[in-house]
Amino acid sequence: MDNFNLKKYLVENKITRNSQMLKEEEAMAELTVGGKTYELGSDDPNDDGTVVKIEKYPNGYFITGAVYDSPEQYVEDPEGKDAKEAYGYAIDLDGNDMDEDDLEGRD
């Protein structure tokens, strides 16, 4: 039996008025764009850290990274709360740098 949920589909694809209630961001585990792969727990291709969060927005992505004392520390702290350093940056849908204030739907 197919578990297709029409209401969920309509809201997620912004076909109903209720869809405006959804948060614009979408968390992702892996992203390949602009010839680079961003993956949770892997080395950040743009910085000297580990990718700890990837958020998708209508016009780009926000990458959050953390610099740990050791690679194993990510397993114990996947959100980077106890990291030496945390950082974030925005890229557009093609993987180019952009100002994070220009991400649609980011507060």
Q: What is the per-residue pLDDT across 75-96, written as a single tens digit (0 to 9) for each?
A: 899 999 999 999 999 999 999 9
Q: Which residues contact 2 (CB under 8 A, 6 or more apart)?
A: none
For residue 13, give Cα distances in angstroms to 8, 10, 16, 18, 71: 8, 5, 8, 11, 38
What is the per-residue pLDDT for 33? 96
What is the per-residue pLDDT for 12? 62
Q: How many CB atoms lie within 10 A of CB 29?
A: 11
Give me the mean pLDDT over the 57-70 stretch.
95
- pTM for this model (two decimals): 0.74
